[in-house]
Structure formats: structure tokens, C-alpha cells
Amino acid sequence: GESVGLHLPTLSVQEGDNSIINCAYSNSASDYFIWYKQESGKGPQFIIDIRSNMDKRQGQRVTVLLNKTVKHLSLQIAATQPGDSAVYFCAENSGGSNYKLTFGKGTLLTVNP
């Protein structure tokens, strides 16, 4: 079946640097994407979403980029802080009345002080 995957399972950055987490998806029918942050012992926390009619969306210190041509999604975190250390998941949804999400494998982000 089609799936969502990640290029890098782990990412280590220095505090203050910018982080980029990547995700590849294979379902060309997917038209809605979400990034989640999951800290140890907690449920996934919604960070930012983007619809397929957009290629960029910005939030507070985060930016999501969508490249539909190559089916690639990225999450950029500016001025990464120790509190950003977590596992980050991308998830896709094929839209319509189907709200089901397919999750990628996750990337562990470690921020070194």
C-alpha cells in the first residue's frame, strides 16, 4: 500500500540553529498534511498543517513546505531550542469525508545546548 516515509530517522542540532525535518509521501491523492511533535510519554501534539493548494505555510518559528511535484514535505524550525527535542511525525490525509491519517516513521530531533 502507499505510505509516508522519512529520509532521516535522527537529527542532532545545536541550540539556536535551524532544523529541517523531511518527509516523502507516495499517495498522489493526498491533499492535506500535518506535522506532529511527540515528546516522551505524551501523545502527538499538532504543530502545523498544509493543504495541497499551498506550497508554504508559516507558524510561530515553524514553516512547512510542500513540493507536490516530488511528493516531499518538510518542517523547518527556526532557532531550535532544547524544548524542541522530540520525535516529529508527518501525516497525510486523502481528504474528502475521509479524515483518516497515515503517519510517517518519525524523526528524533535532539537539540544540544
Partner 1 sequence: SAVISQKPSRDICQRGTSLTIQCQVDSQVTMMFWYRQQPGQSLTLIATANQGSEATYESGFVIDKFPISRPNLTFSTLTVSNMSPEDSSIYLCSVARGGEHNEQFFGPGTRLTVL
- Whole-number Å distance between alpha carbons of 63 and 61: 7
- Min dist CB 97 to partner 1, Å, is 8
Enumerate residues 74-113 that contact partner 1 by CB under 8 A. Answer: 89, 91, 93, 95, 99-106
- Min dist CB 91 to partner 1, Å, is 8
Q: Which of 32, 52, 57, 74 binds partner 1 (CB under 8 A)?
A: 32
Segment near partner 1 (CB under 8 A), from 13-21, 28-36, 62-70, 74-82?
A: 28-36
HEC profile of the chain: CCCEECCCCEEEEECCCCEEEEEEECCCCCCEEEEEEECCCCCCEEEEEEECCCCEEECCCEEEEEECCCCEEEEEECCCCHHHCEEEEEEEECCCCCCCCEECCCEEEEEEC
The answer to whether residue 24 forms part of the interface with partner 1 (CB under 8 A) is: no
Among 43, 2, 45, residue whose Cα is nearest residue 24: 2
Please count the residues of this chain forming the interface with partner 1, following the rule CB under 8 A. Answer: 22
Enumerate residues 44-73 that contact partner 1 by CB under 8 A. Answer: 44-46, 49
Q: Which residues bind partner 1 (CB under 8 A)?
A: 32, 34, 36, 41-46, 49, 89, 91, 93, 95, 99-106
